[in-house]
């Protein structure tokens, strides 16, 4: 027997049922949800049911706030109400760094129009009859939206609502295989076993919402995903006499230093903690059946944290434990879920790794439905995109795999402050250039970007979680020296991991012309180019160089490799006239930047590097120190310089030759922190910060890259209409004005509100100390109505309103004379 549906959703927990319900609400009711046991039998079954709305990101706070709004409305529905209780929550803060963290969270919320706030210990005591300050609490964060929900009731209600709209739910139906179909009316055939009989479901779209079996479902479809499963435990006390007598609702307490959460569960207390080592399970093979099941309790692991918590909630020490709940929870290597299209595959969507499953289930349903029904999401969901992980995230196996090792570290920092320069140290290195050992021996302090090891700074003390801060950190002096060396002399950076494709064939020029909103470069030239979504917002950025009429070089953001390749391949013409491939040659890159860069390179090559022969934004092949290089005359730091792309085997030879010739020219290594500081001084946009799918080219100040005379490109009609309307946002550059106030000890954080006359009208996207200018600089956006406002700006910084000056351009070399020299 074969059944036919448009969409098959695999997995009957909160995530799967939310996806099906959202799709049905959007009119896509031709769907079947396949669950191998009962609904909620996976992680949903044992979930604590907390619905927090705080987060360290715009996406996370939006997801949390969307959840409580959706669940509140469902709870009001008299025909099928769910059990949702609005309680609020507060976080006690015991350290100055944690208070900085709270100010950061309030800043994110302010930009989104949400109402997180800082409260005093006395205010927290007034809200909670059983919590008290022991003298260690400085202040707290109040989340006025948090609540808790019955996960099973939510899941069953969503399934009933989907059925009522025409969708189908099949329980006790195990997926045993998945086939890709070619040349038929359907893309997929899902093989199902039910009650000892087998049948197939053919469909156009498969959505993998299988929870801790998500990796196995992916493997059936021929894909690997970096998922780890860990234990997470909480306990529920016996009946508490005080709660039997007092039925008032009081806030959940979530203490990030002691690492516990505590809330009322009817007349009992529910207590959970993250204060133990991360414990991955099923590191090699999962059991075939783990439905509605739990692991053995860890009495000691939770007892130590409970004892610390009793200093604030003495009542916890007066009650007995009724049950331990220790169940599986799925993590990705960065703790964000994987939501969206699987790379290189039509009609297969991931909805796995949803660690905060009950809260994020609502948002997962929203964004996947937007992807399937319209293609363009309201929010920028790149942090959840499955394509952020490449093959590097699949390294290793068993307990020592990248996913398992990193997930254990992430679990242990679940409540850690998201310091802006925190670097995860486990499971490294997985990708490194040929210079890795050479740079490490010279004092390079390595960080990881999309799996690649890259020098972040040189010298100073080594990285440690213990020295992190929201304020200026110990590496500032070292980075300042690197920036000044690039400004005054010459610097060199090993920029491993550039996204590099070669695009060729008789249809290459026409294909690229449609993919980007920018004019294509002439032969031997380079052009910064932008890709748009159909709705006219910015998808990505690429530096495109032209070797010949039908042969192009594409250089993009390191982290966007799989995402942008997938985008290009999905738009390739069917006639085979265009070939897109990962760069197979010259995949190592050295940046040589600074006023002495021409002199240094000229000592090692016979090529003419004069301004006339090698103008700004040009490329050509040269031989330097006996190495063939593709030399691009570009600069992301705002200085005279070149990017040299060479074969991996030649990287060390070229690097050593440059250092041998550059000593008297002041040559110095520099790293990613210096690179970022210099690009902020220039006011240059960064992908994922200053532009992304929530901004139009007009908002982002990128309209100079638009060629509206081109007859056709993706997003063309949308941006032509936008050109006639006022902008929603205005991109800008600000410096912190210290003429009448002490200089702040740190940078305002991304999402910090930008205000005019006290009113929040925008937000910071990037900030850095400008080590060449001595200015503390912020990039960001204000509402379009303030596009031409000059005066009256302040920027929130650690609870203070910092006076700020707006600039028309970047503050370093605003006329761009240095890189063009």
d(CA 299, CA 628): 63
- The 10s digit of each residue's pLDDT in 656-675 is 999 999 999 999 999 999 99
Around Cβ 374, how many Cβ atoms within 10 Å? 12
User: pLDDT tens digits for 471-526?
Assistant: 999 999 999 999 999 999 999 999 998 899 999 999 999 999 999 999 999 999 99
Under a CB-based contact definition with an 8 Å cutoff, are residues 422 and 416 in contact? yes
The Cβ of residue 113 has, within 10 Å, a number of other Cβ atoms equal to 8
Please determine, for residue 184, whether its predicted confidence score (pLDDT) is greater than 80: no
CA atoms within 13 A on the CB side of 314: 4
Decide if 549 contacts 523 (C-beta within 8 A). Answer: yes
Rounded to 10 deg, the angle between the 14-25 and 151-164 helix axes is 30
Per-residue pLDDT reduced to its tens digit, 543-586? 999 999 999 999 999 999 999 999 999 999 999 999 999 876 78
Q: Could you tell me the pLDDT band of residue 599, with boundaries at 50, 70 and 90?
A: very high
| Residue 674 near residue 486 (C-beta atoms within 8 A) | yes
Q: Could you tell me if residue 397 is left (phi over 0), alpha (psi between -120 and 50 degrees) or otherwise beta?
A: beta
Element (H, E) at 403: helix 402-412
Q: Residue 399: pLDDT band by 50, 70, 90 thresholds?
A: very high
Separation of alpha carbons 814 and 219, rounded Å:
52
Looking at every residue in the chain, the average pLDDT score rounds to 96
How many whole angstroms separate alpha carbon 656 and alpha carbon 661? 9
How many residues belong to the chain?
Answer: 821
- With CA atoms as reference, report the closest residue to 50 among 263, 269, 239: 263
3-state secondary structure of 68: helix
Decide: 407 and 278 in contact? Cβ < 8 Å.
Answer: yes
Q: What is the pLDDT of residue 584?
A: 66
Give me the sheet containing 667-669, strands edge to edge: 619-624, 627-632, 641-646, 588-593, 490-494, 667-669
The values of phi and psi at residue 412, to 5°, are: -70, -15
Q: How many CB atoms lie within 10 A of CB 346?
A: 12
Which tokens sit at 817?
A: 């004379």
Residue whose pair of structure tokens reads 């799709």 in the numeric block: 23
pLDDT, position 456: 98
Answer whether 363's CB lies under 8 Å from 401's CB.
no
Q: CA–CA separation, 234 vs 317, rounded Å?
A: 16
For the segment 336-345, the average pLDDT, to the nearest whole number, is: 96
CB 201 within 8 A of CB 2: yes
pLDDT beyond 70 at 714 = yes
Q: Which two tokens stand for residue 128?
A: 């909670």
pLDDT digits over 282-316, tens only?
A: 999 999 999 999 999 988 778 889 999 999 999 99
Residue 623 to residues 493, 500, 547, Cα–Cα distance (Å): 19, 21, 16
CA distance 142 to 116: 6
Query: In angstroms, rounded to a whole number, what is the distance separating the alpha carbons of residues 557 and 748?
Result: 25
Helix pair 151-164, 357-373: axis angle to 10 deg: 20
Q: What is this structure's pTM?
A: 0.96
CB 425 within 8 A of CB 463: yes
The confidence band for 591, taking pLDDT boundaries of 50, 70 and 90, is very high
**Ranges of H-type helices in 489-647:** 508-515, 561-570, 597-602
Distances (CA, A) of 182 to 4, 219, 506, 592, 714: 16, 19, 27, 49, 27
Read off the DSSP letter of residue 98: H
Q: CA torsion sign, 705 to 711 to 712 to 715? A: positive
Consecutive H or E run containing 655: helix 651-662
| Residue with tokens 């009322």, as numbered in its chain | 264
Q: Residues 457-471: pLDDT tens digits?
A: 999 788 999 999 999
Q: What is the dihedral of CA 569, 571, 575, 581, to 10 degrees?
A: -30
HEC assignment per residue over 217-246: HHHHCCCCCCCEEEEEEEEEECCCHHHHHC
The structure tokens listed for 152 are: 């099973």
pLDDT for 344 beyond 80? yes
Whether residue 349 contacts residue 341, with contact meaning beta carbons closer than 8 Å, is answered with yes
Percent residues over pLDDT 70 in the chain: 100
Q: Report yes or no: 189 and 202 within 8 Å, Cβ to Cβ.
A: yes
């Amino acid at each position: 027997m074969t059944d036919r549906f448009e969409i098959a959703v695999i997995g009957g927990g909160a995530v799967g049922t939310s996806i099906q319900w959202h799709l049905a609400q959007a009119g896509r009711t031709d769907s079947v949800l396949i669950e191998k046991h009962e609904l909620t039998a996976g992680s949903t079954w044992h979930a604590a049911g907390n619905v927090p709305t705080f987060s360290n990101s715009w996406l996370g706070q939006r997801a949390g706030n969307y959840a409580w709004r959706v669940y509140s409305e469902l709870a009001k529905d008299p025909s099928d109400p769910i059990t949702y209780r609005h309680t609020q929550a507060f976080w006690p803060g015991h350290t100055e760094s944690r208070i900085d963290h709270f100010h950061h969270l309030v800043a994110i919320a302010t930009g989104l129009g949400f109402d997180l706030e800082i409260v005093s210990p006395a205010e927290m005591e007034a809200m909670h009859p059983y919590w008290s300050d022991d003298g260690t609490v400085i202040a707290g964060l109040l989340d006025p939206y948090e609540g808790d929900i019955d996960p099973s009731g939510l899941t069953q209600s969503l399934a009933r609502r989907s059925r009522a709209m025409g969708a189908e739910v099949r329980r006790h139906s195990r997926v045993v295989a998945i086939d890709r179909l070619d040349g038929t009316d359907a893309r997929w055939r899902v093989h199902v076993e039910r009650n000892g009989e087998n049948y197939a479901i053919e469909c156009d779209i498969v959505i993998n919402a299988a929870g801790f079996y998500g990796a196995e479902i992916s493997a059936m479809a021929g894909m690997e995903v970096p998922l780890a499963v860990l234990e997470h435990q909480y306990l529920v006390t016996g009946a508490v006499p005080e709660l039997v007598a007092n039925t008032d609702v009081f806030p959940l307490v979530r203490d990030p230093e002691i690492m516990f959460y505590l809330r009322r569960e009817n007349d009992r207390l529910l207590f959970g903690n993250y204060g133990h080592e991360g414990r991955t399970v099923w590191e090699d093979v999962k059991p075939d059946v783990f439905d509605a099941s739990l692991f053995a309790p860890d009495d000691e692991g939770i007892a130590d944290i409970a004892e610390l918590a009793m200093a604030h909630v003495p009542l916890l020490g007066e009650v007995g434990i009724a049950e331990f709940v220790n169940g599986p929870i799925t993590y990705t290597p960065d703790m964000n879920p994987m939501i969206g299209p699987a790379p290189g595959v039509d009609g297969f969507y991931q909805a796995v790794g949803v660690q905060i499953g009950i809260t994020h289930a609502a948002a997962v349903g929203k964004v996947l439905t937007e992807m399937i029904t319209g293609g363009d999401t309201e929010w920028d969901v790149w942090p959840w995109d499955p394509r952020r992980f490449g093959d590097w995230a699949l390294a290793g196996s068993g307990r020592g795999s990248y996913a398992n090792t990193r997930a254990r570290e992430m679990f242990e920092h679940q409540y850690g402050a998201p310091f802006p320069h925190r670097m995860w140290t486990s499971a490294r290195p997985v990708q490194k250039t040929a210079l890795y050992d050479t740079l490490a021996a010279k004092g390079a302090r390595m960080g990881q970007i999309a799996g690649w090891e890259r020098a972040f700074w040189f010298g100073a003390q080594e990285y440690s979680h213990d020295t992190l801060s929201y304020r200026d950190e110990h590496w500032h002096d070292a980075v300042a020296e690197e920036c000044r060396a690039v400004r005054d002399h010459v610097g060199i950076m090993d920029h491993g991991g550039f996204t590099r494709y070669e695009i060729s064939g008789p249809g290459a020029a026409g294909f690229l012309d449609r993919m980007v909103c920018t004019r294509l470069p002439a032969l031997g030239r380079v052009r910064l180019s932008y890709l748009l979504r159909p709705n006219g917002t910015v998808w990505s950025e690429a530096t495109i160089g032209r070797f010949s009429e039908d042969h192009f070089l594409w250089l993009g953001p390191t982290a966007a490799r799989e995402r942008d390749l997938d985008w290009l391949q999905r738009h390739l013409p069917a006639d085979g006239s265009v070939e897109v491939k990962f760069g197979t040659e010259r995949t190592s890159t050295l940046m040589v930047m600074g006023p002495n860069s021409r002199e240094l390179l000229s000592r090692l090559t016979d090529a003419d590097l004069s301004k006339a022969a090698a103008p700004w934004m040009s490329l050509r092949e040269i031989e330097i120190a006996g190495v063939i290089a593709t030399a691009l005359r570009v600069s992301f730091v705002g200085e005279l310089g070149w990017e040299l792309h060479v074969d991996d085997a030649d990287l060390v030879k070229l690097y050593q030759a440059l250092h041998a010739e550059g000593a008297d020219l002041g040559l110095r290594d520099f790293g990613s922190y210096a690179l970022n500081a210099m690009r902020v001084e220039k006011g240059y946009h960064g992908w994922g910060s200053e532009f992304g799918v929530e901004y139009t080219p007009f908002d982002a100040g990128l309209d100079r890259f638009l060629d509206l005379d081109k007859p056709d490109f993706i997003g063309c009609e949308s941006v032509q209409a936008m050109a006639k309307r006022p902008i929603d946002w205005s991109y800008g550059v600000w410096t912190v004005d210290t003429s009448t106030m002490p200089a702040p000890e740190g940078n305002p954080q991304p999402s910090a509100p930008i205000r005019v006359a006290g009113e929040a009208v925008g937000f910071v996207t990037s900030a850095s100390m400008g080590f060449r200018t001595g200015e503390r600089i912020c990039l960001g956006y204000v509402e379009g109505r303030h596009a031409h406002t000059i005066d009256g700006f302040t920027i929130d910084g650690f609870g203070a309103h910092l006076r700020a000056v707006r600039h028309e351009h970047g503050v370093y070399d605003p006329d761009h004379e240095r890189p063009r020299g």
